[in-house]
Amino acid sequence: LLFQFCSLVPLTGRRQLSLVSDADMFSTSLVQYDQFLKENKLSTNTAETNLVRRVGNRIKNAVTIYFAQNDLSQELNGFAWEFNLIESEEVNAWCMPGGKVVVYSGILPVTQDETGLAVVMAHEIAHAVAKHSNERMSQALLAQLGGQTLAVALREKPRQTQDIWMTVFGVGVQLGAVLPYSRLQEGEADHLGLIFMAMAGYDPNGAIAFWQR
């Protein structure tokens, strides 16, 4: 039965559990993203904000080209990319389904330069385009709510669903305290992220120094 609810990870071909439609993921992401922006302060540092958006757009363009080259452009339908820098001491960043990317200012001292930031953003964007959040959300719904659809869970157990959502994305969680993705998914994001950043014109060797830091 679960095999019927499996899909293929774009580009790698790995089978993943998929109980949640892209449409539901995107619409829920938009609600959660808007709420997050209301509750958190955007950075007033113009140079750093522009840096985040410049890197984000270069990675986005690389992703678009890479998917087109592999005849998978349809997998990006519904993405409405956006890049924001949040004032926070947290060493964190994430990308929700649909391309909503948030970088916390606390990670910039660790990224140090544009290449380091490209490592982070390409990795987080890779999670989104590989639909890891859908897979993780599906696993959580199956484990905690008996496989209910996202729409039913939102309607019948909104608080519990919100908690699952925040756990899936690691929103507000210190990097290293909670891993919202499995090691398999992290490896996939590392692999794809290196490809995306290289296509965007960044040296993927810079990833080694970043992860050491």
3-state SS, residue 7: strand
| Cα–Cα distance for residue pair 20/132, rounded to 1 Å | 12
CA-based end-to-end distance of the chain: 44
Is-catalytic flag, 186?
no
Residue 204: C-alpha distances to residues 15, 94, 213 (Å): 27, 19, 15
Q: Which residues of 55-94 are buried (b: 16+ CB within 10 A; e: fewer)?
A: bbebbbebbeebbeeeeeeebbeebebbbbbbebebbbbb
> Active-site residue among 124, 135, 156, 188?
124
Degrees (nearest 5) of the Cα angle 85, 88, 58?
25
Active site residues: 124
